[in-house]
Every structure is written in C-alpha cells, then in structure tokens.
Amino acid sequence: MIIEPVVKGVVARSAHPFGCQQAIRNQINYVRTADPVTDGPKKVLVLGASSGFGLASRISLAFGGSMADTIGISFERGPSEKGVGTAGWYNNIFFREEAEKAGLIGKNFIGDAFSPQMRQQVIEYIKTEFGGQLDLVVYSLATGVRPNPETGELWRSSIKTMGEPVTGPTINIETDTMEQMTIGTATPEEVEDTEKVMGGEDWASWIDILSDAGVLATGCKTVAYSYVGPKATYPIYHQGTLGRAKAHLHATADQLNNKMSEMGGEAYVSVCKALVTKASVFIPAFSPYILALFKVMKDKGVHEGCIEQMQRLYAQRLYGKDKIVPVDDNRLIRVDDWELEEDIQQQVSELMVKITPENFTTMGDYQGYKTDFMQLNGFDLEGVDYQADISFETLTQLVA
Ligand code: NAI
Ligand code: NA
C-alpha cells in the first residue's frame, strides 16, 4: 500500500512509518551538533515519550550529550485492520532502534500510564534489567481522560474559561480554514476534573511509588512541562481550566521538591514555548497566536521546535554549567523566555489583529504550522519515498 495522509479536523488518521523514522533521525542529528548536555542523567524514565516534548526530551537525553538509557511510556496503537497505527507507535520503534545502534537502552512500555499495573511493570523492569535506579523522571503526559484510581470512573478535561465565554478563531487543518469558535465557561466540576487529568496528582503518585520502591537514585530529579503564555492568551489558557490544572502542577513540583530534597533530589516544572503538537492543536482560539508567534520568531531567527526547546532545557537549565538550576520567582524553569521577550510579543500582538479567516494562510505562518503538523505524523519530510509500496507485513514485523 501507499500510505497517504488522512486528517479529520485536527486529528491525523494515518501516519507514515518511515517519515516518523526520518523525523527521529533529524532530531537526533540536531542534538548531536547542539550545545551538549554535560554531567546529565544516565538512567531516565519518560512518561509520555512517544511524541511532542516527551519524545524530544528522550532524544535530547540519549543523543544530546548525556547518553542516557531511557524507558519510555506511552499510549499508542500499532498496525491493525483499522489502519497503519499511530505516529507515536513508530516513533517508539525507531527511537529504540537508534538508541540500540548507539549502545543505549531504549525500552518502550505501551499502555496506560495511569494504571497500577503499568507502575508495577516499570518498577520490576527497573529493578531487574535497568540497573535498579533512575536519575531523572520526565512527566510529559497530555491527555483528555484519566481514570479515578479508586473507582475507575473517568475524569475528563475540558478546555474552557473560568470567566466570560471567549470567542476566537481556530484552525481546521483538514479544510485549511479558520473558523470562529466560542469557548464556554467551565462549571466547578469541569474545573476540578481538568485539574485531575492535567494537574500534578498522577505525577506525585508516580514519584511516591517509585520512591517507595527504592528506585530513585540519590540526587534524582524530576520535571514536568507547563505553559503560561502572554497576557493576550490568559483568558483561554492561563486563566482557564488548563491554566488552573497547571497551577496545580506547579504546586505539586514544590511538594515533590521538598520530599525529594531529603535524598538530594529536585523537582521542577519547566514552562515551555507554544508549539504544534498532537495535543496543542486542540486548544481553541490558540492557533492565530501560534501563527503570529512562529512568523515573528522565524523572522528574528529565534524560532525553536520541541527538540531545540528540550536540548536547551537539559543543556542549559536542568544540567547547566553552574550546577544551580535557574528558576523564576515562582521556582519555574523558563524556556519560554524567548517567546515572551517584549519586542517579540509586541510584534505578535500587532500581527495577530491583522490575521483574518481570509488571509491567515499568508499573514501568519500557516505554512510552518501545517508542515509541523504533517511532520508529526511522518509526512512532508525530505528524503522519504512517499510513493513506496509498503506491505502490512513490513509494519507488523516492526516491534516496540
Ligand atoms: P503530545 O500529545 O505530543 O504527547 C503526549 C504523550 O502522552 C504521548 O506520548 C502520549 O502517548 C502520552 N499519553 C497520553 N495519554 C497516555 C496514557 N494514558 N498513558 C500513557 N501515555 C499517555 O503532547 P505535548 O504537547 O508534548 O504535551 C506534553 C506536555 O507538555 C503537557 O504537559 C503539555 O501541557 C506541555 N506543554 C505543551 C506545549 C505545546 O505547545 N504543545 C507548550 C508547553 C507545555
Ligand atoms: Na551540564
């Protein structure tokens, strides 16, 4: 079969396995020549390792100087009668292959990171095959649902405001159109449920159980990712349900830091730049901001993708040269510093008001936005033979 892109709204329904392989290789090539992570961790667990920031973290830590063995947990689907499977499925496979070529462990666990069984399997593996202890735990899950560990009932996150409803444009990648959409006001229950899904509770639970199992090394660090953004997007993000969940995540970092400091460890949240990922394309009214931001940052030569952000985070912040992790007044690591620079934000606001449904494909960086989205799914990459006839057997023979 010839694998073609299929997009429904903002969801990719197909992925190109060898495009994903190329994307992994491109990221590896980038970190190999970038400012390296020195004195970095050697044994790393990444929750949410198959795409976006989690995958970039894993690549940075394995190939960007630290040469870490990694365990990656993700929720992905392989080839079946339903289709070729998800991009993340292939990212896991090709990451592991590249890691093994470099003499590193790249162990993949595919399944629900929220489940007790996953915790047990991972701990068992760390003890029996991974050398017994971790130096770093990266928490990079992004999802809309989490089962209540007590009842199994699902909490669902909502992307809503906590004040007045907000109407703003959103992008439909399938039709290349910009559509108005209103984000309603969350009920108290929706606020709470979003916090359960995207807040820090599950992160803390993982750290607790890993710590109780004795698999956190002295000096072990942990990091989770957050977004804050400029004032213009506060009503939809920072002061909405997602922002509230992130506030919980930030508070969790402080609690975990107290706990982990007893064994010389540290816990942080890193605030990252707005980027196109499988998760972020869902955030309503956010895309015009990204279109303007990309355009301005590219014009200024300071644009970064996930891999550049993560390499900078690990090389210059978490394992930076002066050994003390630089943080802001709220003890947050800021790799969104370039995004939030005053002159960048000034130009972004000026551009954003000019972007309309008629002109967004040229006024903002829609080309870049769409290319990023396609590349997340293994399409539009240079050097890939998209006319290749790929058999189903070729795909089922690839193992996680
Ligand atoms: P993503 O969708 O690319 O990656 C999410 C990962 O979580 C995938 O590996 C997926 O398989 C895994 N996952 C989801 N549910 C799972 C489950 N039940 N069990 C196991 N694995 C599961 O998302 P992205 O954007 O990289 O997000 C990661 C973090 O970065 C999130 O906390 C997000 O808020 C944060 N962030 C994202 C920004 C953006 O612009 N994309 C900006 C700043 C922070
Ligand atoms: Na360093």
Residue 29: partners with Cβ closer than 8 Å, 6 or more residues away: none
Distances (CA, A) of 211 to 9, 117, 221, 253: 42, 17, 12, 15
Please give the radius of gyration of the chain, using alpha carbons only, rounded to the nearest integer: 20
Domains and CATH numbers, the chain: 12-142+194-283+302-338+374-396 (3.40.50.720)
From 90, 237, 314, 369, the catalytic residue = 237
- SS3 label, residue 280: helix
Ligand that lies nearest to the alpha carbon of residue 144, given by its number in the listed order: 1
Tell me 232's DSSP state. Answer: G
Q: pLDDT tens, 295-350?
A: 999 999 999 999 999 999 999 999 998 889 999 999 999 999 999 999 999 999 99
Q: What residues form DSSP beta bridges with 169?
A: 180
Provide the b/e sequence for 135-145 (b: ≥16 CB within 10 Å): bbbbbbbbbee
Q: What is the pLDDT of residue 154?
A: 97
**Token representation of residue 61:** 């830590």
**Token representation of residue 380:** 């539009």
For residue 336, the ligand 1 atom closest to its alpha carbon is: 43
The answer to whether the predicted template modeling score (pTM) of the entire model surpasses 0.90 is: yes
**Token representation of residue 345:** 């934000």
- Nearest of 20, 95, 90 to residue 59 by alpha carbon: 95
- Nearest of 210, 57, 200 to residue 134 by alpha carbon: 210
ipTM of the complex: 0.98
Q: Ligand 1 pocket by C-beta < 6 Å: which residues?
A: 48-54, 73-76, 88, 112-114, 140-143, 225-227, 272, 274-275, 277-280
Ligand that lies nearest to the alpha carbon of residue 312, given by its number in the listed order: 2
* CA–CA distance, 114 with 320 (Å, rounded to integer): 31
Q: What is the pLDDT of residue 311?
A: 98
Q: Which residues are annotated as a binding site?
A: 48-53, 75-76, 112-113, 141-142, 227, 246, 275-277
Residue 321: partners with Cβ closer than 8 Å, 6 or more residues away: 38
Q: Which residues are annotated as a binding site for NAD(+)?
A: 48-53, 75-76, 112-113, 141-142, 246, 275-277
> In the chain, which stretches have pLDDT less than 50?
none
Q: What is the pLDDT of residue 232?
A: 84
Sequence letter at residue 144: G
Tell me 66's DSSP state. Answer: S
Residue 237 annotated as catalytic: yes
Cβ atoms of residues 14 and 4 within 8 Å: yes
Secondary-structure percent of the chain, ordered helix, strand, coil, rounded to 5: 40, 20, 40
Q: pLDDT tens, 2-51?
A: 999 999 999 999 999 999 999 999 999 999 999 999 999 999 999 999 99
Q: Compute the distance from residue 391 Cα to the ligand 1 centre, in Å.
A: 30
Tell me 240's DSSP state. Answer: B
Q: What is the pLDDT of residue 9?
A: 93
